[in-house]
Structure formats: structure tokens, C-alpha cells
Chains A and B, each alone.
Chain A
Amino acid sequence: MSPSIKIYVPRDAAALSVGANRVATALANEAKKRGQAVEIIRNGSRGMLWLEPLVEVETAKGRVAFGPVAPKDVASLFEANFLTGSAHPLNLGLTEEIPFFKNQERLTFARVGVIDPLSVDDYIAHGGFVGLKKAVTMTGAAIVQEVADSGLRGRGGAGFPTGIKWKTVLGAEADQKYIVCNADEGDSGTFADRMLMEGDPYTLIEGMAIAGVAVGATKGFIYLRSEYPHAYQTLLEAIRTARAARWLGPAIGGSSYAFDLEVRLGAGAYICGEETSLLESLEGKRAIVRAKPPLPALKGLFGKPTIVNNVMSLATIPWIMANGAKAYADFGMGRSRGTLPIQLAGNIKQGGLIEKAFGVRLREIIQTYGGGTHSGRSFRAVQVGGPLGAYFPESLLDTPMDYEAMAAKKGLLGHGGMVVFDDTVDLAQQARFAFEFCAKESCGKCTPCRIGATRGVETMDKVIAGDTSKLALIDDLCHLMTDASLCAMGGLTPVPVMSAMTHFPDDFNRAPKRMTPENLAAE
């Protein structure tokens, strides 16, 4: 029998959603039929999602990619001798030479799609646990300083400096502190947290353990949205294997530090991504937003000092500890240091995960990486930063992806999601949806958000029906919600609404169809 050849078929949920399991089964069956020894490794996704299922074969020259592969292609792949990386219509060449992939700066995602996500050995062979091993030899203050020097800002949306948050928790006196990972990833158009948890879960575990060592916390929780059943399974398994290998438990990595983790599932409420709402939910209550102060850093989970950080923030810590704060801060622009995992989604030809240094322009992402719309129609709008982010037109596409530059254009970066729309989109409908979403997902604590969003839906219905005199009311409502809401749910819902009105006024000024003479005649 010929020697065993390694084939990679992703287990990432996006790859599964277009048939990766069926492809893996077909490959195994065909190999068996032909007496060819293969080792099928279920890796994470490389993030080129339009090419999924992306099958890779390990060759002497490197990993060669084939995609998108359907089960019916499998026989012809073997026929063409694809295990040697030979020519075939689906052959994409060396994975790491595909321009979409090659031109990224992958730090946080360095291992995603490369390794077997659940193999501790593979993780270590690719530089895993180097950061933690270093951290356990340092003082808490020195670790916190390293994080501060890296310039890392929270990737959950608000961009708050991670080092400052950690310093507050480090300085708090308490018998118990907690590390909470915000894995609620509620923003539509985002999936970086999911891909990392499914593709390299030990990085998140390592990042949380380093946070624990830094501030003196022995217990962590990952609050995961229930819409991610695959990530849930991967995390449960990763925590089990990490514990067995003693990277979690009473003496992590053979050090004198203890740290352990639990995953908890959310229950379909967007507001649970807001950190205080998340803490209420973890405590088993209705997830009503808490007023701040007190800060969660001082009085967080069960009233104890708590770090709440996004998955991306925590998963970037191991890289920073292993390579140094300066190496990280060397990427980026202005006050946005390092890299941003950008998620390109919606009506886009080549969607996926693109990790780039801050400062890349929206246009480059949509055109060079994305290759235009999926429908082939012309581009009309991109919503950046989730449901609370702005809709930008073509004329704003030269805005660099940087916290301050986006804010200067009355938009936000959020969690780095970009949702592209073609010219069939109606921005008045999108503005209406922004209010509707807020009305559905509001925690209900404050009137401007709870009532304001409902009024917003009703008023937009009138605007859409042709009563443009109501636009002034929308404007007033937006000001009220911006100024008087307790949290960013109500406070930022006006961002998509106002950006849609500002940049796409035509969509808000349509005479109602029924009123035109032609339509009246037709009726």
C-alpha cells in the first residue's frame, strides 16, 4: 500500500453548511476503494468561504488547495491523481499563495485552518502555550503592562484599551475574581469569534488562562450564543482535552497557578452581548442591563472583580505574550494598533475572514478581496460594524478601517463585520429594520429605547407609505435615543437609521406607488 497522505477537510460550521462532511465521507470511501492510505484531518477553515468545502492535500511543496469540492467531484479528483497536487479544474494551487489568503496579516488567526483544532500536540507544534509559559514567570503587573504596551483595544465593539481594564481588576482586592469571555457574537455579519473557537480553541483557552494569571483569577466562563452548536461542541471537547493535558486545572502548565473554565450557553437574546446584561444572564437572571458604575472590573460576576473581554481580544493575548508588545503595536494606524479580523459577508462574491492591520480601506476589502457582489449587480451599500453600524455608500469607501476614522464619518468598526448590499436594497426598509430589531431586542430598562424603537417602526411605516413629513419625527426620535439611552443598544440604533437617511435620501422620498397617475390608471 502507498504511504498515507494527509488530506484536510474543514470541520468549521460554514464549511459543513455547504457539505464538508459529505465530502470527507466521499473522500474516505473513494480512498478505501482504491486502496490508497489517507489521513483525513478535520481542520478549521482558512476563511475563504466561497471556496468551501476547501480540501487541501499535503505535498512536498506545501498544502495544495482544491475547491469548492462537491461529493460528485471526488472520483475525478482521484482519477486526476490529486493526492500529488496535480492539475484538476478545482486545483487552486498552494493554499498560502492564493492572493486572498497571502495578502493578509494573520496573527490572531495564524493557526486557524492550519492545525487540527483539537490536537494539543499540533497546537504546541505551532507555537501554542509559549505565551502562557512566559506569563507564569512574570508578575501580574508586568503582564498587564505588556498588554497595555501592545495597544490592544477590545474587539467586542467599544474599543476600550484592554490593558487598562486588566489593571483595574489587578488592583482590586477580592477573595475571588473572574475572567469572562464574551462569545455572544450577536452582530449579524460577524463570525470571527465562531471561526476561532471552532478552528483554534486552545488559543482562547490560553488567552483566558494568561488573563487569570495576570489578575489573580482562578475561574473563567465562556458565554457562548446558543446559535453556535458546533462551536459549543468544540469548546467542550477542547476544555476536556486541555484539562487532561494539565493546561487547565490546579497547576496549569506545571506552574503554581490554578485556572479552570466553564462554557455557558446564552438563549437567543442580542442584548446579552452587552457586558452587564451578560453578567446578569450568567447569574441566572433576566438579562437587564446594569447601570455603570460600578464597573464590572470592580463589581462584576456575582459582585466580584471581573474581566469581560471579547473572544478576539483574549485570543490575541497569546500572540502578544509570545512575540512581544512592540511586534504587535508595529501593525496598525493611529490609535488602532495591531490587526483586525474583518468579516466580509452579505451579497459578496468572495466572502470570508480577512485579518489585516488596521488602516486598510473599505474599498480594498470589498473590491480586491470580495470581487464585487454575489449577484453580479452593482454595489449600493455596506453596513459596517453589525446591526448598530452605519450604512456607507460608494463615496465613503475610501475610509480606512480605524476606530477614529470610522467615527469621523459617523460610523463604527464594531466587531469588524461588513455586510454588502447590491442595488436592489431599499435603505428605508433597512432603517425600519434597525428600529424593529431594537424593539425586539431591547432589555426594556429605559423608555427611549423601549418605546422609542417601537415608535420608530411605526413612523418608518408611514414614511415608507409616502408620508415624508414624518422624517423630521425620525430625526427627533434618533436624537432622543442617542442622548437618553442607558446603553449602546438604544444609543446606537440611530446610527444605521441616520446613515441610511443621510446617504440614501432617495429611498426615503418615494411617492407611494399607489398615488402615481400611472398606477391609479392601472388600478
Chain B
Amino acid sequence: MDSSGLLFDQILFGVFPYVALFTFFFVTIQRYRVQKFTFSSLSSQFLENKTHFWGMVPFHYGLIAVLTGHTVMMLFPKLVLNWNSVPVRLYVLEATMFAFAALSFIGVIALIRRRLKHSKVRMVTSKADWVLLFFLVLQIVIGLYMALFNRWGSSWFPGAMTPYLWSLAEFSPNVSYISALPLMVKLHVINAFVLIGIFPFTRLVHVLVVPNHFLFRRHQVVRWYKNRKLIAGERDRS
């Protein structure tokens, strides 16, 4: 590969990820501090309740499964490789992941259709929503393409992507892992960082405020504007 290509790769895979991650952290924190009110997804189920289910549910569950798959491959590459050592298990894993990705694709298409079709839902759709949807669809489509034509992801990911991602995490990006990979894979990686970069500007922030303490808290929530014990103490003293 000539040196200009290498430089290009350096910028795309060695520098851009950090720009995206910096934007992600900086803007997310800033937005949480300054515009806490906006930290949610603007649900439109109230405005259109009939097709909502058919988009939301496949999209979310599909995406969650696929993202979990990516995370496992990054954190436990050996585990995945061991699993894949028996071909049948590899096929099952790949087919399952493909099914979830397809589910999220069907879901996101249904959601786009819903946003276009129902005038009420259009009223609560912002430009940022469309930008986000564009990159999301792009990402899912590339992912599906790779699953079909750059087989088998779960076998080469641990060898190529995992070390690259770890090199990023260790602040010594090694783009040589990436350089030789097919174009579509590269696009998928770049687009992933684009998504991370635009994350804090979009409704995606709702991912960060998923309810986690709900399962453990008591049913009722009471807030006091007075410190009752303190007040009783004051009164006793005076």
C-alpha cells in the first residue's frame, strides 16, 4: 500500500475515533449538565399507537442483541473462537446474529415508514432524527452485507478487529490491523465512530438514562422539603 493510503488510514482509523469519542464524552456531559431536560427519547407512541409496536420492538431487541454480540467479541475473543471451533456452532451463532440484525433492519424501516406516513408523528421528528436514521440504516445495511459476503465475521473479528479496538483503548492505535480489511468492513468501522460522534446530539442519549435502580427501589417515592428530624431538634433546643 502506498504511503498516502496509509496516511489516509491513519487519519480515519487512528485519529478520527478519538475525535468521535472526545465529542461523545464532552458533549454528552455538557448536555447532561446544561440541558438535562432534553435527556430522553421523545416518544411518539401517544400520537400513533397502531404501527408503533411493529417498528419499535423488533428494532430495539434486534439492535440490543447485535450490540451485545459485538461487545462479547471485543471483550472475550478467545471465548468466541473456542465456540466457533465446531462448525455447527459457528453457523448457529452467525445465523442467530444475522436474524437479529435483520430484525433491527425490518424495525428501522418500519419506523421510518411510520415517521413519513403519519402527519402527527412528523410533527415531532427533527432534522437530527433523520440524520441519525440515515447513519443507522447505513450501518445496519453494511453489517448485513458483511455477514453475507465477508464471512465469517465472528471468526475474523477476534483476530482483526479486537486487537485494533484494544490498541485504540490503549491510546496507541495500530491501523495495520485494519488496512488490509475489505472496504465494507472499513466503512462499517468508520460509520460506527460517526454514530458515536453524533450520539450526544441526537435522541440516542436516552440509552444512557435507562432505568437501572427501578428494579430495586421501593414502590413509593416521597420527597421532603423539610428535614423533619432537624426541625424537631431545633424546636427542642429553643
Bound pair: A and B?
A: no
Task: List B residues at the A interface (Cβ < 8 Å).
Answer: none
